[in-house]
Each structure stands twice: as structure tokens, then as C-alpha cells.
Amino acid sequence: MEENNTLIIWFENGKTALFEKAEKFMADNQTIGFEYFGKNTQTKMHAAFILENIAGFAGGNK
């Protein structure tokens, strides 16, 4: 993913999460991970999610 990408994750419980400036996307058989810019903290953050809890995800370049 490029630096200005938006990433949306849909969880099994029906909730969603939106990440701006997602980059360095990584995935294996059990997890996905990436870096993003936290709007509230104004810092670069790393996130990781267990695939078992995710219904789907999509990314796009703004």
C-alpha cells in the first residue's frame, strides 16, 4: 500500500475501523499488520489484527 492509502476493516461483530495513511501492509496465515498515522495522537502507529476476527478489508488511494 502507498503512504496516502485509506484502509477499512470490517469486523465479524459488524463494526468497522478506518485508518488513514496506511502503509507497510503485512499479512500471514493468522494476522494482518500495517502502519498508519493516528489523527488523535498525531503520530505514526502500528496496528495488528487477528484474521479470525475480520470479515473483510479494503484499501484505496485517496
Residue 2 has pLDDT above 80, yes or no: no
**Does residue 36 contact residue 44 with C-beta atoms inside 8 Å?**
yes
Of 57, 13, 6, whose CA–CA distance to 31 is shortest?
A: 57
How high is the pLDDT of residue 61? 79
- What pLDDT digit, counting tens, does each position of 3-61 carry? 568 999 999 999 999 998 999 999 999 999 999 999 888 999 999 999 999 999 888 87
How high is the pLDDT of residue 59? 85
Residue 1 has pLDDT above 80, yes or no: no
How high is the pLDDT of residue 37? 92
